[in-house]
């Protein structure tokens, strides 16, 4: 499915994992493969919601751009419910990249990043 791996497809996501094993974070791995950091397209999701007659949604995500992108395609986002990830030594670097490189609202070790959406209010 093309949506896999931030829209670069499963095969390229595996290539990105190889680059991450070599030291790049998830952001830089996608750039090294000549992709934008996030290639996902939310138009199909918006069309599906419209066809199902869904008037508005609450998203479970730490990624504020998902709400922005869905809104761009006419989906009314009534709220965002943050997800508290289970951080382990194996995934901590990934979540740090999510927070620091993608501006995701993630709490790590009790330190909550200020909601990036609030910066524009």
Q: Is residue 70 part of a domain?
A: no
For residue 19, being part of any structural domain is answered with yes
Residue found under tokens 């996030």: 38
Inside any domain, residue 1: yes
Is the residue at 96 inside a domain?
A: no
The answer to whether residue 21 is catalytic is no
Dmax over CA atoms of the chain, in Å, equals: 45
The catalytic residue among 40, 100, 103, 115 is 40
pLDDT at res. 120: 43
Low-confidence spans in the chain with pLDDT less than 50: 1, 112-121
Active-site residue, selected from the candidate residues 6, 25, 38, 99: 38
- Give me the pLDDT at residue 75, please: 95
Domain presence at residue 31: yes
pLDDT at 69: 92
Is residue 93 annotated as part of the catalytic site, yes or no?
no
Query: Measuring CA to CA, which residue among 76, 106, 70, 71 is closest to residue 91?
Result: 106
Q: Which domain holds residue 6?
A: 1-40
């Amino acid at each position: 499915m093309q949506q896999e791996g931030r829209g670069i497809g499963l095969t390229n996501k595996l290539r990105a994992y190889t680059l991450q094993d070599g030291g790049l974070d998830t952001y830089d791995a996608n750039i090294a493969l000549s992709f934008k950091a996030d290639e996902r397209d939310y138009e199909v999701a918006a069309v599906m919601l419209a066809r199902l007659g869904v008037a508005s949604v609450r998203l479970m995500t730490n990624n504020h751009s998902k709400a922005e992108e869905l809104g761009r395609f006419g989906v009314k986002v009534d709220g965002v419910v943050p997800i508290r990830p289970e951080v382990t030594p194996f995934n901590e670097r990934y979540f740090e990249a999510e927070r620091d490189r993608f501006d995701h609202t993630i709490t790590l070790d009790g330190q909550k990043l200020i909601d990036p959406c609030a910066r524009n209010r």
